[in-house]
Amino acid sequence: MKNVLIIGSTGQIGSELTLELRKRYNGNIVAGYIPGAEPKGELLESGPAEVVDITNEQQIAEVVSKYKIDTIYNLAALLSAVAEIKPQLAWKIGMDGLFNVLEVAREHHCAVFTPSSIGVFGNNTPKDKTPQDTIRNPRTMYGVTKVGGELLSDYYYIRFGVDTRSVRFPGLISYIAPPGGGTTDYAVDIYYEAVKGNKFVCPIAAGTFMDMMYMPDALHAAIQLMEADPTRLVHRNAFNIASMSFDPEIIFNNIKKYVPEFTMEYAVDSLRQSIAESWPNSLDDTCARIEWDWKPTYDLDTMTKDMLSKLKSRNLK
């Protein structure tokens, strides 16, 4: 039996990860949320839910004790574009919040998964096939908290034996919960506009390549890494994982294959564009493949077909 707490369970990743964990494990899979972001529908009805504000260590500890939690998926964060607007709050959630989670995990012997991001990289990082172990010098608060989070998580493993593991997620594409204000959100929005029959106004310039991944592969990565044999792990926080890399023109043309009347124009958002340009074009995920058998199943075309069919079945207005 596994007892899992998901902090930030109602966001883009959590709303799907929580349900996936409930399908796989028969213990308490607790959806942690903050007031104003309550779970709804299946997420609310299929298991326990508790208020867990990551900035409140005692609240985390109480829920961990109540449900005998052994694993924490810590998904609370402000995403890259929002974090640039509220850098102080991004630090409070990303760093102070992570510290609270790690302290509770140390005292209660929990494993911890805290997603990192391609945002750990910066302008001095090799851009193509970015290696696992390379320069991490972001100039965004999001990136600063992600690098700090990787280092702090490794510290808790080395110093206290807390079982911390993580991946650097690329931009995630999904059709259930909307993205939370990241630089790669355009690659989700473009599908919604195509299905609604609208013109898409793209905030990222043509020729800007970023790594992306379809949500089913991202969920699989998180769970597979947490279940991996620890004796094989050379790295911990955090693994590069990759499945596809494209620019706006490539994803637009792929969608147009299935929605021929679809059109797109550009209105580049300077904040998102500058963040996008500081991130890699593509990642080398060899270490994840060797150390825990990571392998994605979706490419751009199979993702596009699935996204379009799932969104069409929702009769979007």
x/- map, 278-317, ligand NAD, by CB under 6 A = ----------------------------------------
- What residues from 208 to 247 belong to the interface with ligand NAD (CB under 6 A)? none
Number of residues that bind ligand NAD (CB under 6 A): 27
Name which of 316, 71, 291 is nearest 308 in CA terms.
316
DSSP single-letter state for residue 119: G
> Is 142 considered catalytic here?
yes
Choose the binding region for ligand NAD from 57-65, 158-166, 180-188, 293-301 (rule: CB under 6 A).
180-188
Exposed/middle/buried for residue 310 (C-beta within 10 Å: 0-12, 13-18, 19+): middle
Query: Considering only residues 5, 8, 47, 156, which one is a binding residue for ligand NAD as defined by CB under 6 A?
Result: 8
Query: In degrees rounded to 5, what are phi and psi of residue 75?
Result: -105, 5
Residue with the CB atom nearest ligand NAD in the bound state:
11
Q: Nearer to ligand NAD by C-beta: 54 or 244? A: 54
Query: Considering only residues 4, 14, 73, 287, which one is a binding residue for ligand NAD as defined by CB under 6 A?
Result: 14
Query: Considering only residues 39, 179, 248, 296, which one is a binding residue for ligand NAD as defined by CB under 6 A?
Result: 179
- The answer to whether the Cα torsion of 114, 115, 121, 122 is positive or negative is negative
Listed in sequence order, the DSSP H helices in the chain are: 14-24, 41-45, 57-66, 80-85, 87-91, 97-108, 141-160, 186-196, 215-227, 248-258, 270-278, 286-292, 300-312
Q: Nearer to ligand NAD by C-beta: 75 or 226? A: 75
Query: Considering only residues 5, 6, 12, 248, which one is a binding residue for ligand NAD as defined by CB under 6 A?
Result: 12
According to DSSP, the β-strands at 167-169 and 239-240 are parallel
Choose the binding region for ligand NAD from 6-14, 120-128, 228-236, 294-302 (rule: CB under 6 A).
6-14
According to DSSP, the β-strands at 116-117 and 264-266 are unpaired
x/- map, 114-153, ligand NAD, by CB under 6 A = -x-x------------------------------------
Task: Say if CB 140 and CB 89 are below 8 A apart.
Answer: no
d(CA 180, CA 182): 6
d(CA 205, CA 274): 10
Q: Nearer to ligand NAD by C-beta: 179 or 252? A: 179
- Minimum CB separation from ligand NAD for residue 209, in Å? 16
Name which of 227, 241, 246, 243 is nearest 286 in CA terms.
241
d(CA 102, CA 106): 6
Choosing from 73, 142, 157, 214, the catalytic residue is 142
- Minimum CB separation from ligand NAD for residue 65, in Å? 18
Chain positions contacting ligand NAD, by CB under 6 A: 7-8, 10-14, 34, 37, 52-55, 75-77, 79, 93, 115, 117, 169, 171-172, 179-180, 182, 184
Q: Which residues are catalytic?
A: 142
